[in-house]
């Protein structure tokens, strides 16, 4: 499929009759399923009773991360992709943003809901999702806001991790080697006062980052400590919750806030339109918000999780893959005129923990775990006003004491750097606890959770 056709279809989607779009989507889905059955040994087994020419969506088994992850080698459709080689490739920072085996993009999930998972994307995925970004997300903003030869761009990232964001950031720096002084990369684990100081000094026109951190920066701006006036704020990776969005709009006037609801597993799922509402990229993504029993939720109901299918990635087919996001399909049409499904993404149980009246976004802790391999699963839990517990499942080969000491030193730096000097960080014998709702494991929880909403409203 040539690029011009991909772009043209995206441009005319809203003017195309619904039945034509749905038929096109169904053809894409069948093609993906045929390819998956023929080339992925794991999916051939999973779909052995499914006829790719005659099936209904609900008939397809759900891809659960815990099941798919150990079968990476058989999940991918190209036998040239070897798990050990992929891991070695990702471990070398020199390879960041370079093609794997000369043709694939290799990245990992950010680890906000568990340990990083390796994802491979092919050429079609890159072209389709690149076009969705260019046309739908960035199509209505002045292009110079993303050009470091014209404006200053700051991004708060998981530094040196092969996440989609850091790869894009690396590409931007390579594209503009003459303008590196206009590109600032900040780390998610830097203390908030330090981020504020650096941003005040840099004065970005464009600010990109994680939703939970942007929410905290909005509070810093309202309290008068952050003194920047960006024209564009771009939230990616985590979901920008309604609360964080209203805090940003309140704190930064005359600033466009764009929300890109994406996942390493499926790419660009939904994007904000001119009205600031999120529309699903229905031409290439199928999104099924489901309840605890995996039944589709009705309009305006909030889902327990969501199943996503990406019709553009043939090398690691993502079909009815479960993401632990809570989605509300909206029934009202949007003022922008788009017919694509409107959704609201609701926050997870706790996007922040609060110590000594200081908000710390969960990403601050989860990004640490990318730097410190050695646990199978983990959880940071605020169990008292000034106590943070670390719960983990360790493989036999990990020296627990050495691991916790290394972690404790880094957590101590974060807490002190943010002014939370009275917080006690302890290793707990308790295993990570799943939430009572839906039984899912959250990487960061506050068991004495206070509402973030109260502070920003
Ligand atoms: Zn809209």
Please tell me the distance from the alpha carbon of residue 105 to that of residue 125, in angstroms, as a whole number.
9
Cα 330 to ligand 1 centroid, rounded to whole Å: 11
Average pLDDT over residues 189-214: 90
C-alpha of residue 241 to centroid of ligand 1, in Å:
17
Query: How many angstroms does the Cα of residue 342 sit away from the middle of ligand 1?
Result: 7
Distance from residue 285's CA to the centre of ligand 1 (Å):
17
Length of the chain measured in residues? 457
Which one, of 313, 339, 398, 288, lies nearest residue 36 by Cα? 313
Q: How far is the CA of 255 from the centre of ligand 1 (A)?
A: 18
Model confidence at 347: pLDDT above 80: no
Predicted confidence (pLDDT) per residue in 3-30, tens digit: 999 999 999 998 899 899 999 999 999 9
**428-439 mean pLDDT:** 67
- 3-class secondary structure, 260: strand
Specify whether the backbone of 222 is left (phi greater than 0), alpha (psi in -120 to 50) or beta.
alpha
User: If you measure from the C-alpha of residue 219 to the centroid of ligand 1, how many angstroms do you get, rounded to a whole number?
Assistant: 27
Instruction: Look at residues 154, 228, 176, 210 and name the one whose alpha carbon lies nearest to residue 347.
Output: 210
Q: How far is the CA of 51 from the centre of ligand 1 (A)?
A: 36
Closest CA to 450 of 389, 397, 385, 403: 385
Report residue 454's pLDDT band, with 50, 70 and 90 as the boundaries.
Answer: very low
Determine what percent of the chain is predicted with pLDDT higher than 70: 92
Compute, in angstroms, the gap from residue 335 CA to the centroid of ligand 1. 6
Q: Phi first, then psi: what are they for 171, rounded to 5°?
A: -65, -40
CA of 275 from ligand 1 middle (Å) equals 5
Q: What is the pLDDT of residues 79-131, one digit of tens each?
A: 999 999 999 999 888 898 899 999 999 998 865 555 678 999 999 999 999 99
**Cα(212) to centroid(ligand 1), Å:** 23
**Average pLDDT along the chain:** 88
Predicted confidence at residue 452, as pLDDT, reads 44
Ligand 1 mean position, distance from CA 339 (Å):
8
Taking the C-alpha atoms of residue 126 and residue 105, their distance in angstroms, rounded to an integer, is: 8
Q: Are strands 183-187 and 153-157 parallel, antiparallel or unpaired?
A: parallel
Question: Is the pLDDT higher at 183 or at 108?
Answer: 183
DSSP structure class, residue 51: B
Q: How confident is the model over 407-430, as a mean pLDDT?
A: 92
Interval 62-83: pLDDT, tens = 999 889 989 999 999 999 999 9
**DSSP, res 224:** T
Helices (H), 133-228: 164-175, 192-202, 211-222
- What proportion of the chain, given as a percentage, has pLDDT over 90? 58
Instruction: Give me ligand 1 centre to Cα 278, in Å.
Output: 7
Domains and CATH numbers, the chain: 1-348 (3.40.50.12780), 352-456 (3.30.300)
Read off the pTM: 0.81
CA angle 389, 395, 396 (to 5 degrees): 115
Closest C-alpha among 413, 405, 403, 412 to residue 373: 403
Q: How confident is the model at residue 369 (pLDDT cuts 50, 70, 90)?
A: confident
State the pairing for strand pair 377-384/444-446.
parallel
Q: How far is the CA of 138 from the centre of ligand 1 (A)?
A: 14
Distance 272 CA to ligand 1 centre (A): 7
Q: How far is it, in rounded angstroms, from Cα 434 to Cα 379? A: 10
Q: Are strands 305-310 and 321-323 parallel, antiparallel or unpaired?
A: antiparallel
Which of 125-129, 257-261, 344-348 reaches the highest mean pLDDT?
125-129
pLDDT at 437: 42
Comparing C-alpha atoms, which of 298, 323, 281 is closest to residue 28? 281
**Separation of CA 338 and ligand 1 centre (Å):** 6
CA of 340 from ligand 1 middle (Å) equals: 8
Edge to edge, the sheet with strand 444-446 lists: 424-427, 387-393, 377-384, 444-446
User: 224: pLDDT confidence band, cut at 50, 70 and 90?
Assistant: very high
> What integer is the mean pLDDT of 249-269?
91
Instruction: Return phi, psi of residue 263, to 5°.
Output: -145, 145
Q: pLDDT tens digit string along 284-307?
A: 999 999 998 999 999 988 888 899
Distance 214 CA to ligand 1 centre (A): 22
Confidence category of residue 450, pLDDT binned at 50, 70, 90: very low
Specify the higher pLDDT residue, 319 or 351.
319
Task: Give residue 257 CA to ligand 1 midpoint distance, Å.
Answer: 14
Q: What's the token pair of residue 444?
A: 């960061």
Q: How far is the CA of 134 from the centre of ligand 1 (A)?
A: 16
Average pLDDT of span 418-434: 88
How far, in Å, is the centroid of ligand 1 from the Cα of 336?
4
Give residue 213's pLDDT. 80
CA of 274 to the centre of ligand 1 (A): 6
Residue 159 in this model has a pLDDT that exceeds 90: no
Contacts 24+ apart (CB under 8 A), 383-386: 383/447, 383/448, 384/448, 385/355, 385/448, 386/355, 386/356, 386/422, 386/423, 386/424
Report the C-alpha gap between 400 and 47 in whole angstroms: 41
Residue 349 clears pLDDT 60, i.e. is over it? no
Give the distance (Å) from ligand 1 centre to CA of residue 360.
32
Structure token digits, residue 397: 């080969």
163 CA to middle of ligand 1, Å?
28
Distance between CA atoms of residues 190 and 417, nearest Å: 8
Q: Name the residue among 320, 318, 363 with its Cα closest to residue 119.
A: 318
């Amino acid at each position: 499929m040539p690029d011009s056709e991909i772009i043209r279809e995206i441009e005319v989607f809203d003017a195309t009759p619904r039945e034509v779009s749905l038929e096109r989507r169904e053809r894409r889905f069948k093609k993906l399923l045929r390819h998956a059955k023929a080339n992925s040994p794991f999916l051939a087994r999973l779909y052995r009773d499914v006829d790719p020419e005659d099936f209904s969506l609900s008939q397809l088994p759900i891809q659960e991360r815990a099941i798919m992850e150990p079968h990476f080698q058989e999940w991918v459709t190209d036998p040239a992709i070897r798990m050990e080689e992929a891991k070695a490739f990702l471990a070398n920072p020199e390879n960041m943003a370079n093609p794997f085996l000369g043709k694939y993009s290799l990245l990992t999930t950010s680890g906000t809901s568990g340990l990083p998972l390796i994802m491979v994307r092919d050429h079609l995925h890159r072209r389709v999702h690149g076009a969705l970004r260019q046309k739908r997300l960035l199509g209505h903003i002045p292009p110079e806001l993303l050009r470091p030869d014209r404006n200053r761009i700051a991004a708060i990232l998981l530094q040196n991790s092969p996440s989609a964001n850091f790869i894009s950031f690396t590409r931007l720096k390579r594209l503009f080697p003459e303008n590196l002084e206009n590109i600032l990369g900040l780390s998610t684990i830097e203390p908030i006062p330090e981020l504020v100081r650096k941003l005040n000094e840099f004065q970005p026109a464009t600010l990109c980052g994680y939703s939970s951190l942007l929410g905290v920066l909005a509070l810093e701006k309202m309290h008068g400590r952050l003194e920047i006036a960006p024209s564009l704020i771009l939230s990616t990776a985590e979901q920008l919750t309604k609360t964080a969005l209203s805090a940003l709009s309140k704190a930064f006037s005359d600033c466009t806030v764009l929300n890109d609801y994406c996942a390493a597993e499926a790419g660009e799922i939904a994007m904000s339109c001119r009205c600031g509402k999120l529309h699903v990229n229905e031409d290439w993504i199928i999104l099924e918000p489901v309840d605890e029993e995996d039944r589709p939720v009705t309009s305006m109901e909030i889902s327990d999780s969501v199943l996503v299918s990406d019709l553009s990635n043939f090398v690691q087919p993502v079909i009815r893959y479960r993401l632990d996001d809570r989605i509300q399909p909206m029934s009202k049409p949007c003022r922008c005129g788009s017919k694509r499904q409107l959704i609201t993404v609701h926050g997870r149980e706790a996007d922040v923990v609060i110590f000594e009246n200081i908000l710390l976004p969960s990403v601050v802790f989860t990004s640490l775990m990318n730097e410190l391999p050695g646990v199978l699963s983990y959880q940071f839990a605020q169990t008292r006003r000034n106590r943070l517990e670390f719960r983990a499942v360790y493989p036999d080969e990990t020296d627990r004491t050495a691991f916790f000491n290394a972690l404790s030193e880094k957590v101590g730096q974060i807490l002190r750097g943010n002014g939370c000097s009275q917080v006690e960080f302890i290793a707990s014998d308790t295993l990570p606890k799943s939430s009572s709702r839906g039984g899912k494991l959250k990487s960061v929880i506050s068991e004495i959770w206070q509402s973030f909403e109260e502070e920003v409203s």
